Each structure stands twice: as structure tokens, then as C-alpha cells.
């Protein structure tokens, strides 16, 4: 999809469809929708439509007008973005996605989107429109034999005359990189387990690194064993598919020696649960258990192209979790790379095992700040549903950086506790630590497990189990992989490049 900038009046834009946004300035009893633009011609073209009551102010409703008066555009699409007092880049991103998907459904291949007025500024508006459009253009029907090309070919973002073209073009370019990187993550997650094995995931990561100038190292069983990654290997040993240790490095010229940011992703390309096998119902979705690793690959692509002045190392531990005569068993004791002895209580609590070695290895490579992402626990889904992802932290400054990043990314995370009492639930009688503490507080006991492998290193854990897969089509995004965490990871990395660290 081509995305370009135009500085023009709405009346002069020739396009298949001109898109504008309406926000409601009224109340429940009497909606007062108005366009979020001061373009007089666009306001006049939509005046009768608004007066008719067809636009009620309900978020993300769409109304299409043919041959709008005073415009060269063939159509005018008005998208409601909800209440004016809450209209922000979050709602605008979804509204832009809604517009694109509404037009895609009608096989319209090009459109122009009027840049609305946003309290946080036109650059924020540009970013939200471009990111929303990129995300909306993805569909998961990769292998359908009757697949039709609904993709949008050309989007023009129209800014009012007098706008700073240089700043807007720069923001457009940055937003496109982030949106396309989020879609890369979604592409990886969408692939079925037979077409996204650990070896295949590593190859996709290598190709991405080659195209963006990142350093990439791929290790197999011999490297994993040589590093004494007993926790990682314990998950991999039951599968005929070889595991892969993926290491991606971004080391820009002029970056300070510290901080070195470590991005660690769970890359379980298919999770049966192992000997503690999962129920058959819904197991087909376990192809998405590598969403944390895929998020790191997408984030590293964006980081390489945006070029922040900070060093970043990403590690993805890629494996399958399969039952076989070689698979680990409940009751086994595994020795992690750090030397800790782990009692395996449930082989389906495998994500924390691969992350344990990934986190420790990142520290040995010199990472001073760590963040991991994983579809780790069903308990997090029980706690937060499919609305918020969970975030845990052992360091307030690192968490402050992440909270600030969420203001820009628009992604929804909720902080959960990782108090010392949760560690008490997973202490082992035969070893140091058990890989599960039972039903209660499962998201926090999993985080407490990981915390044992970072020690005093500033660390954040993102449990994205409930938000990495979208169960139903939304007006702005297709059912399937969401690409959650890519935008927040990128903003978190950028925050250290801009502000330094403590």
C-alpha cells in the first residue's frame, strides 16, 4: 500500500473517496456530531448528511455519500470517532482503520483522508491515521484458494494548506514503518505450525535482519546445549523439530555504551502442552504461542529503520512443545543456564522455561535493562480479559518509561503485582523453584518465576496471552493476530534514546 502526503484543500482533491471524521459534541439525549476539520467545503458537503441524523455520534459508524457537493472526490465517507471530549490519537487510529476496512469491503482501491484537528497536534494525527490504515489493510485469509485482493493500493493523507510538510512527511514515514512492522508480527503469528516451525521463524528473522542491516545469529541444539540452557532445551527435547536460538543486535554508531536494552520473546511455534497435554478444543490457536517472539522481530525491524541512538539486543527462544517419548515429564528437574534447579510440575508451563534462559543469556550479553513479551498465562486472561495485557515490573524507572510509551502507542496494559509472597508459592522441596504455583495468582507466580532469572536488572514482563489474538472482527482490525506490544516496545526503546536512563 502506498501512503503519501498532500497539502491541499479538500475541494481540490481528486480521489475515489474522501474520508473525514465526525465527533459528537452533544450528550446522550441530543447528539451534536461535527466534522473534526475546519475545511469549509468538506463541512458544507457533509452538512445535509449530519442534519439528517444518519450520523448519530456512535463510535466507528460510517456513512457514505456519493457525488458530494463542492468536492472533486467521487465519494465522501464520514466516520464517527465518538465523543469530542475524548477524541484522541487512540480513537483516531481506530477510526482511520474503520474507514479503510469499510472501503476495502466495497473494493475501493484508493482514498484520501483529511487530517483532523487533534488536541495533541497534527503530527499525532498523522501518526494515528497512517498506523491505523496499515493495520486495517491486513487480512488473515492467506491460504484461501478463492482469496480476493481487497487490499488498499493508495492512501493520501491530506493536510490543510500552510502545514509543515517536512514534519508531517517525517511522521508519515515513521508511522508507516511501525504499522508495517506490526503487520510483519501479525503475518508471523498467523502462519500455521507446519509453516512456521522454529527453523522457519529463525529464517524469517534472518531475512528481516539482512534487509534492515541488523546483526543476526542463529543457534541450534548444539549451541543451546553448549550454553547450558537446560530450561530452554527441556521444552525442545520432545519435538522432532529442532529449536532455534535467535539473536538480533542493533548497535548504531554514536550510541552510548549504556543502556543496552534487552528484548526477549517467547517463540513457542506450537504448544500442545507437552505431556500435560491441553484439551483438543481450541488447540489449533496454539500456533499463536510465539506471538511474543514475533513481536520482538517486528519491533527490531522498526528499531533498525527508525535508528534511535541506543543499543538493543533481542533474543527469541523458538521451539515446539510436544509430547513424545523424549519429552520432559512432570516431576523432572531441569538446570537452567543460571544454575537454578527447576522442578517441572506442569509441562504446559513451558513459556517461562524458555524465557528464563533467554533473560539470563541477555544479561550475559551485557543488557542493562530487560523487557520480555509472551503469551504466558491463562490466568492473565482471567484477570484482564481480552481488553488489557498484563505488565509486571521490578523497577519503577523502567516502568515509568513504559507507562510513558503507552501514552504514545495507545496499547492497553495493566500493571499486576509480583510481590515476594508469590515466590513462596513456587518454592520447590527438591530444587530451587517449581515451574507453576497452582491455580491462584497464576499470572503473578509466573512473573515471580521470571523475576528469579533477572535478579536486580531493571525488568518488565508483558503477558499478552489475552490480547495477542482477536476473537472477532472489529471495524478497524481483522479477526486473528493483533501484533500487540510492537508499538509499545518501539516507543519504550525510543524513550531511552531520547531521555537516557537512571
What is the per-residue pLDDT across 96-139, written as a single tens digit (0 to 9) for each? 999 999 999 999 999 999 999 998 999 999 999 999 999 999 99
pLDDT (tens digit, 9 = 90+) per residue, 331-370?
999 999 999 999 999 999 999 999 999 999 999 999 999 9
CB-based burial of residue 77 (10 Å sphere; 0-12 exposed, 13-18 middle, 19+ buried)? buried
Cα separation, 342 vs 453, in Å, equals 12
- pLDDT at residue 9 is higher than 90: yes
Q: Which three cell numbers stand for residue 239?
A: 519435538
- pLDDT at residue 233 is higher than 60: yes
What pLDDT score was predicted for residue 471?
95
- pLDDT at residue 241 is higher than 50: yes
Q: Name the 3-class secondary structure at 40.
A: helix
For the segment 12-19, the average pLDDT, to the nearest whole number, is 98
285 is known as an active-site residue: no
What pLDDT score was predicted for residue 58?
86
What pLDDT score was predicted for residue 445?
98
Cα distances (Å, whole numbers) of residue 477 to 94, 337, 422:
8, 40, 37
CB-based burial of residue 26 (10 Å sphere; 0-12 exposed, 13-18 middle, 19+ buried)? middle
pTM of the entire predicted model = 0.97
Domains and CATH numbers, the chain: 2-157 (3.40.220.10), 186-499 (3.40.630.10)
- pLDDT at residue 235 is higher than 50: yes
Cα separation, 4 vs 156, in Å, equals 5
User: Residue 501 — very low, low, confident or very high, per pLDDT cuts 50/70/90?
Assistant: very low
pLDDT (tens digit, 9 = 90+) per residue, 186-226?
999 999 999 999 999 999 999 999 999 999 999 999 999 99
Active-site entry in 74, 206, 258, 278: 278
Active-site entry in 287, 352, 451, 494: 352
Cα separation, 487 vs 219, in Å, equals 27
Q: Name the 3-class secondary structure at 248.
A: strand
Total residues found in the chain within this entry: 502
What is the chain's mean pLDDT, rounded?
Answer: 96
pLDDT (tens digit, 9 = 90+) per residue, 161-173?
999 999 999 999 9
User: Residue 57 — very low, low, confident or very high, per pLDDT cuts 50/70/90?
Assistant: confident
- pLDDT at residue 30 is higher than 90: no
pLDDT (tens digit, 9 = 90+) per residue, 369-409?
999 999 999 999 999 999 999 999 999 999 999 999 999 99
Q: Which three cell numbers stand for residue 282?
A: 481450541
What pLDDT score was predicted for residue 498?
64
- pLDDT at residue 499 is higher than 70: no
What pLDDT score was predicted for residue 502?
37
- pLDDT at residue 31 is higher than 90: no
pLDDT (tens digit, 9 = 90+) per residue, 445-471?
999 999 999 999 999 999 999 999 999
Do residues 386 and 285 make contact, with C-beta atoms less than 8 angstroms apart?
no
- The dihedral region occupied by 29, where left means phi > 0, alpha psi between -120 and 50, and beta the remainder, is alpha
User: Residue 267 — very low, low, confident or very high, per pLDDT cuts 50/70/90?
Assistant: very high
Do residues 72 and 14 make contact, with C-beta atoms less than 8 angstroms apart?
yes
User: Residue 500 — very low, low, confident or very high, per pLDDT cuts 50/70/90?
Assistant: very low
352 is known as an active-site residue: yes
User: Residue 154 — very low, low, confident or very high, per pLDDT cuts 50/70/90?
Assistant: very high
Amino acid at each position: 500500500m502506498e501512503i503519501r502526503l498532500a497539502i491541499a484543500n479538500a475541494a481540490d482533491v481528486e480521489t475515489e473517496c474522501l474520508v473525514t471524521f465526525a465527533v459528537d459534541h452533544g450528550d446522550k439525549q441530543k447528539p451534536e456530531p461535527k466534522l473534526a476539520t475546519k475545511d469549509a467545503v468538506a463541512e458544507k458537503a457533509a452538512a445535509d448528511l449530519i442534519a439528517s441524523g444518519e450520523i448519530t455520534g456512535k463510535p466507528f459508524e460510517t456513512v457514505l455519500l456519493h457525488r458530494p457537493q463542492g468536492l472533486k472526490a467521487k465519494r465522501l465517507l464520514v466516520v464517527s470517532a465518538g465523543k469530542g471530549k475524548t477524541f484522541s490519537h487512540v480513537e483516531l487510529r481506530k477510526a482511520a482503520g474503520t474507514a479503510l476496512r469499510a472501503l476495502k469491503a466495497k473494493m475501493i482501491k484508493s482514498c484520501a483522508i483529511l487530517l483532523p484537528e487533534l488536541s495533541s497536534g497534527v503530527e499525532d494525527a498523522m501518526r494515528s491515521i497512517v498506523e491505523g490504515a496499515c493495520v486495517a489493510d491486513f487480512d488473515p485469509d492467506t491460504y484461501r484458494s478463492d482469496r480476493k485482493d481487497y487490499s488498499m493500493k493508495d492512501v493520501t493523507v491530506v493536510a490543510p494548506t500552510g502545514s509543515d510538510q517536512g514534519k508531517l512527511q517525517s511522521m508519515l514515514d515513521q508511522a508507516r514503518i511501525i504499522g508495517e512492522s506490526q503487520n510483519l508480527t501479525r503475518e508471523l503469528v498467523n502462519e500455521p505450525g507446519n509453516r512456521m516451525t522454529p527453523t522457519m521463524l529463525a529464517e524469517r528473522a534472518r531475512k528481516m535482519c539482512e534487509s534492515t542491516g541488523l546483526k543476526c545469529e542463529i543457534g541450534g541444539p548444539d549451541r543451546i546445549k553448549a550454553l547450558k540452557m537446560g530450561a530452554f532445551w527441556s521444552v525442545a527435547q520432545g519435538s522432532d523439530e529442532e529449536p532455534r536460538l535467535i539473536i538480533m543486535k542493533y548497535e548504531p554508531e554514536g550510541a552510548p555504551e549504556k543502556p543496552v536494552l534487552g528484548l526477549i520473546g517467547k517463540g513457542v511455534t506450537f504448544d500442545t502442552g507437552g505431556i500435560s497435554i491441553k484439551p483438543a478444543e481450541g488447540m489449533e490457536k496454539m500456533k499463536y504461542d510465539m506471538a511474543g517472539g514475533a513481536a520482538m522481530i517486528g519491533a527490531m525491524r522498526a528499531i533498525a529503520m527508525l535508528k534511535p541512538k541506543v543499543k538493543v539486543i533481542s533474543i527469541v527462544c523458538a521451539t515446539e512443545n510436544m509430547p513424545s517419548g523424549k519429552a520432559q515429564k512432570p516431576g523432572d528437574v531441569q538446570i537452567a543456564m543460571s544454575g537454578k534447579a527447576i522442578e517441572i510440575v506442569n509441562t504446559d508451563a513451558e513459556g517461562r522455561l524458555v524465557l528464563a534462559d533467554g533473560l539470563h543469556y541477555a544479561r550475559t550479553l551485557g543488557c542493562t535493562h530487560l523487557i520480555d513479551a509472551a503469551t504466558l498465562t491463562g490466568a492473565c486472561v482471567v484477570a484482564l480479559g481480552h481488553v488489557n495485557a498484563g505488565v509486571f515490573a521490578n523497577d519503577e524507572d523502567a516502568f515509568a518509561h513504559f507507562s510513558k510509551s503507552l501514552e504514545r502507542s495507545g496499547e492497553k496494559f495493566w500493571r499486576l503485582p509480583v510481590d515476594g509472597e508469590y515466590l513462596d508459592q513456587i518454592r520447590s522441596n527438591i530444587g530451587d523453584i517449581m515451574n507453576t504455583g497452582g491455580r491462584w495468582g497464576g499470572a503473578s507466580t509466573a512473573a515471580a518465576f521470571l523475576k528469579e532469572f533477572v535478579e536486580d536488572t531493571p525488568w518488565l514482563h508483558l503477558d499478552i496471552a489475552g490480547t495477542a489474538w482477536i476473537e472477532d472482527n472489529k471495524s478497524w482490525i481483522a479477526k486473528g493476530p493483533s501484533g500487540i506490544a510492537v508499538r509499545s516496545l518501539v516507543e519504550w526503546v525510543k524513550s531511552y534514546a531520547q531521555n537516557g536512563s537512571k
